[in-house]
């Protein structure tokens, strides 16, 4: 089966799709920014010839070269052991495999899930991909079960089993693990799939300054850059603010458009970016797509720094605190003025010279030296 924003291919041979269709799937992920999910099955992955297809390089794993990678175990009543899912290291931090919030409880939850009656060897994970789940086979091997990666503008994943339904059917009534896992996996596969028009701003919060730059990436029906498009941004803001801004092409960046604008008032703004293009021959204007974004101007939040000196403020602060404003030409007098400041940060204390202990010791030493010399010379 397939979704408009993310094809999901189960137990289906690669030969079911023509080379041209396979190339379209590849471009959908690479250039369009879509998602692709491949499931394990009797005619899936290597057993379905996907290792020799046009999309083999966008898969997150290097599939085995030989078929015979699909396994279906016998009835457990015959004493046969089965494959079990196990949370991988990367899966501990992934929202896809988070069944409960507590990390230790989440790992334990995965170990308690029912066994998988069928599974497939997906091969070795490629560099840059992430193994979120492993499976322990009856032979004691640890094989990748869920592998994900980013490819081009999109993403791809392999779930190397078609039997995860047992997590639902063999679990206690009310257990939501199976439903939650697939909800999170499918959300990851289809999320962030861009449309033909993708608008953005550097930041959604403008602090004390309404200046901003609107950016839009525009593509045609084949998702190729559309540098000849006419792009406009309709902006609505607080207190009836309304503006229609024409966006201009960015040099050396086909399909990129920008416009500088300033939000005049604090508050929330809604912007719709519309891209149109005249059809060759007929001249009729056709809409390529549109996108909506929001941003907000907030005043009084960020500190407003200036490069120039605020002399009036500094002189007023100096006068109020008992200090003094010093000009660069008067800095030579600064050192001599600091000890006598009346600003309350220094204390001047005057003492008689003879009252210092050091002076007293010096006088005693002089008297002793005089007595000692007289005694040595025989005067006394």
**Domains annotated on the chain, with CATH:** 8-190 (3.40.50.880), 197-298 (2.60.40.1930)
Closest C-alpha to 115, from 95, 145, 158: 145
- From the number of C-beta atoms within 10 Å of its C-beta (0-12, 13-18, 19+), residue 27 rates as middle
Q: Is 280 helix (H, G, I), strand (E, B) or coil?
A: coil
Question: Token pair of 350, please?
Answer: 């005057």
pLDDT of 77: 45
Q: What digits encode the pLDDT tens for the residues 299-313?
A: 876 555 555 677 888
* Confidence tier at 373 by pLDDT (50, 70, 90): confident
Euclidean distance between CA atoms 201 and 272, whole angstroms: 12
- In the chain the first and final C-alpha atoms are separated, in Å, by 125
- What's the DSSP call for residue 256? E
Question: Token pair of 110, please?
Answer: 């995965």
Euclidean distance between CA atoms 27 and 97, whole angstroms: 28
* Confidence tier at 340 by pLDDT (50, 70, 90): low
Predicted TM-score of the model (pTM) = 0.60
- What's the DSSP call for residue 173? T
List for the chain the helix, strand, coil content (%; round to 5): 30, 30, 40
- What's the DSSP call for residue 126? P
pLDDT at 2 over 50: no
């Amino acid at each position: 089966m397939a979704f408009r924003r993310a094809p999901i291919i189960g137990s289906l041979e690669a030969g079911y799709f023509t080379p041209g269709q396979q190339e379209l799937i590849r471009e959908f992920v690479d250039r369009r920014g879509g998602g692709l999910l491949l499931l394990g099955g009797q005619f899936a992955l290597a057993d379905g010839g996907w290792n020799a297809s046009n999309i083999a390089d966008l898969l997150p794993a290097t599939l085995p070269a030989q078929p015979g990678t699909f396994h279906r175990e016998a009835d457990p009543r015959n004493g046969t052991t089965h494959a079990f899912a196990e949370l991988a290291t990367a899966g501990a931090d992934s929202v896809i495999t988070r069944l409960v919030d507590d990390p230790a409880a989440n790992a334990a939850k995965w170990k308690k899930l029912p066994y998988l009656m069928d599974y497939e060897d997906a091969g070795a994970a490629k560099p840059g991909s992430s193994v979120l789940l492993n499976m322990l086979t009856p032979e004691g091997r640890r094989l990748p079960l869920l592998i994900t990666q980013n490819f081009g503008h999109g993403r791809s994943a392999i779930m190397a089993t078609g039997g995860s339904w047992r997590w639902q059917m063999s679990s206690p009534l009310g257990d939501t693990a199976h439903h939650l896992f697939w909800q999170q996996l499918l959300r990851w596969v289809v999320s962030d799939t861009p449309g033909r028009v993708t608008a953005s701003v550097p930041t959604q919060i403008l602090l004390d300054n309404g200046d901003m730059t609107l950016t839009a990436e525009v593509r045609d029906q084949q998702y190729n850059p559309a540098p000849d498009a006419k792009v406009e941004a309709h902006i609505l803001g607080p207190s009836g603010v309304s503006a229609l801004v024409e966006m201009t092409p960015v040099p050396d960046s086909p399909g990129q458009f920008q416009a500088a604008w300033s939000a005049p008032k604090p508050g929330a703004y809604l912007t719709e970016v519309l891209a149109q293009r005249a059809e060759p021959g007929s001249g009729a204007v056709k809409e390529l797509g549109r996108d909506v974004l929001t941003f907000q101007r907030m005043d009084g939040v960020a500190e407003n720094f200036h490069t120039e000196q605020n002399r009036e403020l500094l002189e007023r602060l100096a006068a109020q605190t008992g200090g003094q404003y010093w000009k660069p030409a008067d800095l030579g007098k600064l050192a001599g003025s600091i000890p006598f400041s009346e600003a309350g940060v220094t204390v001047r204390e005057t003492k008689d010279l003879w009252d210092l202990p050091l002076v007293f010791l010096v006088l005693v030493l002089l008297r002793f030296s005089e007595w000692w010399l007289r005694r040595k010379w025989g005067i006394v």
